[in-house]
Amino acid sequence: MVVAGGFAVGKTTFIGSISDIEPLNTEAAMTEHSVGVDDAGGVSDRKTTTTVAMDFGRIELPGSLWLYLFGTPGQDRFLFMWDDLVRGAIGAVVLVDTDRLEQCFPAVDYFESRGIPFVVGVNCFDGVAKHRLEDVREALQIPAHVPMLYTDARSRAATKQSLIALVQHAMQQLRAA
């Protein structure tokens, strides 16, 4: 499974909250080299690192099954890596920050154009939903068949529900094919 979305939307936190192992993170310090290249508008000054390759986590399921989680880097300049991260994936959770909706368009476009099942998780950073899901769906032009849900990347229970929604959606897509 892939966790995707814009810069600083909570992908690393999402994987860290649900992984049964210490996640592998490829974080690097943010520097002035990203100025004019990466859109960090609206991001807290407390964010000092960014994912430069991927995040990796693993969940153990009953029956000796393992679910692997791959988090994409959030900056557009790293989109070239996504094909390798997505190969063989069940689908993706696209995390959305409603304060920066435009940041998630590349992820939505990527999965739609490749026919990869995805769900949209509206990340509630402060524990409060700022917008109705229907309004977010309309703003992002998400098709009606794509599940949307509120999530909190910090909460294991919330991230688990997002992954369950993705598996259910992917299974429906498979049965319909």
Report the pLDDT value the prediction gives residue 93, as an integer from 0 to 100. Answer: 98
Q: Which has more confidence, 5 or 52? A: 5
Helices (H), the chain: 11-18, 82-86, 105-114, 133-140, 156-176
- Residue matched to tokens 């153990």: 60
CA-only gyration radius of the chain, Å: 15
pLDDT digits (tens, 9 = 90+) for 98-137: 998 999 999 999 999 999 999 999 999 877 788 999 999 9
* pLDDT given at position 40: 56
What is d(CA 69, CA 99) in angstroms, rounded to the nearest whole number?
Answer: 25
Does residue 12 or residue 52 have the better pLDDT?
A: 12
Q: What are the structural domains of the chain?
A: 2-176 (3.40.50.300)
Which amino acid, one-letter code, is at 33? Answer: H
- Rounded (10°) angle between helices 11-18 and 156-176: 100
Model-level pTM? 0.85
Q: How far apart (Å, rounded) are the C-alpha atoms in residues 112 and 160? A: 23
Q: In this predicted structure, what is the pLDDT of residue 52?
A: 57
Q: Encode pLDDT of 55-103 as tens digits.
A: 999 999 999 899 999 999 877 777 778 899 899 999 999 999 999 899 9
pLDDT digits (tens, 9 = 90+) for 145-170: 999 999 999 999 999 999 999 999 99
Structure tokens, 25: 């993170």
pLDDT digits (tens, 9 = 90+) for 12-49: 999 999 999 998 886 667 656 555 555 555 555 555 65
Report the pLDDT value the prediction gives residue 150, as an integer from 0 to 100. Answer: 97
